[in-house]
Amino acid sequence: MNIYKGLLRTIWQKIKFEQKKEWDKIAISFLEECDFIVDVGCGEGRFISQDPFKILGIECNNKSLKKCKEQGYNVIKSDIRALPFQGK
């Protein structure tokens, strides 16, 4: 029984379709010419994973922030109502 569960899990990992990740790939393709991208409300970093060196995440949820940092993403703890940037 355990052999079958492992086999089914392996097959599922190869064939599953993650629609949100596919949308992220499309979105990043529109931003290819940008040198720097800010993902406000980045959550656990799904979009950041598309180009971690170009994308800065902003998140106020401590649990999500921790997960991003564990993955090595560049994230700042902040609230959208008080972004840590100065206007020109």
CATH assignment at residue 24: 3.40.50.150
| pLDDT exceeds 70 at position 88 | no
Give the H/E segment covering residue 69. helix 62-70
Q: How confident is the model over 43-76, as pLDDT tens digits?
A: 999 999 999 999 999 999 999 999 999 999 999 9
Nearest Cα to Cα of residue 83 among 48, 57, 52: 57
Domain that holds residue 42: 2-79
Please check whether residue 84 lies inside any domain of the structure.
Answer: no
Number of structural domains the chain divides into: 1
For residue 87, tell me if it sits in a domain.
no
Question: Concatenated DSSP letters for 39-61?
Answer: EET-TTSTTGGG-TTTEEEEE--
Tell if the pTM clears 0.85, that is, is over it: no
